[in-house]
Amino acid sequence: MPLLSLRLENFRLVGRANIELAPGINLFWGDNAQGKTTVLEAAGMLATGRSFRTARDRECIGWGAGEQRVGAVEGVFTAGPSRHEVRVAIEPSRKAVWLDRKPLRALSELWGLFRTVFFVPADLGLIQGPPQQRRAALDTLLSQSQPAYLQTLVGMTRALASRNGLLRRHVPPTDPQYDAFEKTLAVSAARTMLARARLAERLTEATRVTMAEITGGTEELALVYEAGFGTASGIGALCAAGTPADELAAELLALWRRARKGDLERGVTREGPHRDDLRFEIGGHDARSYASQGQTRSAVLALRLAELDLLAGLDPGRPPVLLLDDILGELDAGRAERFLNLVAKRQVQTLMTATGAAIVEATLPVERRFCLEKGNVTPDRETPGADRSGGQ
């Protein structure tokens, strides 16, 4: 079982909590704004060192931290035969991560040890929302399945920012500094793009199963990788064809060299993997413009389940942990119930939040239950009041 215990210290509104988790389904219930999502956020932080709610870590430091201003999350989990301890401590201007009591130099050293798949209400906007959300979905899954990917991605981002730096400083297009940074950029960009394209294919295969499960076999979903270059460039086709990375890098290098003049006018690199996107097609149509709200919701749930299946298949000894935030509040009852049944079928450790416990327990074999009130986490076994557990 992956996550054995979770400890929060001055983390948002939770002053102190020691949570002993069950290997099955753990339910955190209570009214809104009592700290339910915070518990899930803390669990996610152990996997990635980051919050899924905010890019500004300091927001996680609780008021109770007082003068020391440190918020922390600790967790003990098993990875295959071994047992690990992670601590993430957040201070106003820095963050430190320890693995088995040794400080880590880079967050990438953490990724992949303890994996999570989460569903948060914001996911419902994934298909129609801005592309960075869809790129982030691909990057998160890739970083969890192959930690080297994260290093490549970080390098690519830095090389791209460096090229943009040259453009912003109006360095003339013939300056060899462009060649130097474009070479470095092309190598990491080619690897990043090929990995994303390959993942889109694997997700399409995996969602064939999960979409059928969720919709009862009526809808067909495909995920299509769209390279951040115009179609005329042929880059998208090269990625889809699984071109060797060095050949793709040579093509990218030539494209960026030719683009320098135009990029200089705009002061920014116009085309590249930072413009990549992931297109959802339902029944052969682009879901951004053609799908109903019900269809896009099914597609997002199918994607998350597919992620779970992919990660579980990658290493059967270390299944990922599923984090579900307020799924009942966001989905209609029928769809939510079908989804929860599919979750139960997969028998992975799940941490989920809900405003009431009864409706979840009617569908799912909840193993352990915690009540949240004003940031206090209390294990409970009593039946919650009927008014709270009623239909949401």
CA distance 196 to 243: 13
CB of 263 to other proteins, least distance (A): 13
Residue 211 half-sphere exposure, CB side, CA atoms within 13 Å?
23
**Is position 158 an interface residue for other proteins (rule: CB under 8 A)?**
yes
CA distance 195 to 221: 20
Burial code of 78-95, b = ≥16 C-beta within 10 A, e = fewer?
A: beeeeebebbbbbbeeeb
Of 36 and 163, CB closest to other proteins:
163
Unique residue bearing structure tokens 């060095």: 246
| DSSP state for residue 61 in the 8-state scheme | B
How many residues at the interface with other proteins, by CB under 8 A?
A: 20
Of 80 and 176, CB closest to other proteins:
176
CA distance 36 to 309: 26
For other proteins, the binding residue among 176, 284, 316, 334 (CB under 8 A) is 176
Of 149 and 370, CB closest to other proteins:
149
CB of 296 to other proteins, least distance (A): 37
What letter represents residue 161's amino acid?
Answer: A
CB of 316 to other proteins, least distance (A): 29
CB of 254 to other proteins, least distance (A): 15
**Is position 165 an interface residue for other proteins (rule: CB under 8 A)?**
yes
CA distance 6 to 17: 8
**Is position 106 an interface residue for other proteins (rule: CB under 8 A)?**
yes
Of 176 and 317, CB closest to other proteins:
176
**Is position 180 an interface residue for other proteins (rule: CB under 8 A)?**
yes
**Is position 275 an interface residue for other proteins (rule: CB under 8 A)?**
no
CA 364 to mean position of chain CA atoms = 24
Of 152 and 207, CB closest to other proteins:
152
**Is position 155 an interface residue for other proteins (rule: CB under 8 A)?**
yes
**Is position 179 an interface residue for other proteins (rule: CB under 8 A)?**
yes
CB of 106 to other proteins, least distance (A): 7
Structure tokens at 137: 């979905």
**Is position 162 an interface residue for other proteins (rule: CB under 8 A)?**
yes
CA distance 187 to 250: 8
Q: Which stretch binds other proteins (CB under 8 A): 16-24, 119-127, 171-179, 311-319?
A: 171-179
For other proteins, the binding residue among 133, 146, 151, 392 (CB under 8 A) is 151
CB of 166 to other proteins, least distance (A): 5
**Is position 202 an interface residue for other proteins (rule: CB under 8 A)?**
no
Of 159 and 340, CB closest to other proteins:
159
Beta strands in the chain (DSSP E): 3-11, 14-20, 25-29, 71-79, 82-91, 94-99, 102-103, 116-119, 221-226, 277-282, 285-286, 321-324, 350-354, 366-373, 376-379
Q: What are the distances in angstroms from CA 191 to CA 111, 131, 152, 242? A: 18, 20, 7, 11
Exposure of 365 by Cβ count < 10 A (0-12 exposed, 13-18 middle, 19+ buried)?
A: exposed
Neighbouring C-beta atoms of residue 236, cutoff 10 Å: 19
**Is position 317 an interface residue for other proteins (rule: CB under 8 A)?**
no
Of 165 and 283, CB closest to other proteins:
165
**Is position 279 an interface residue for other proteins (rule: CB under 8 A)?**
no
What letter represents residue 113's amino acid?
Answer: L
CB of 321 to other proteins, least distance (A): 28
Give the footprint of other proteins on this chain (CB under 8 A).
106, 151, 155, 158-159, 161-166, 169, 171, 176-177, 179-181, 183-184
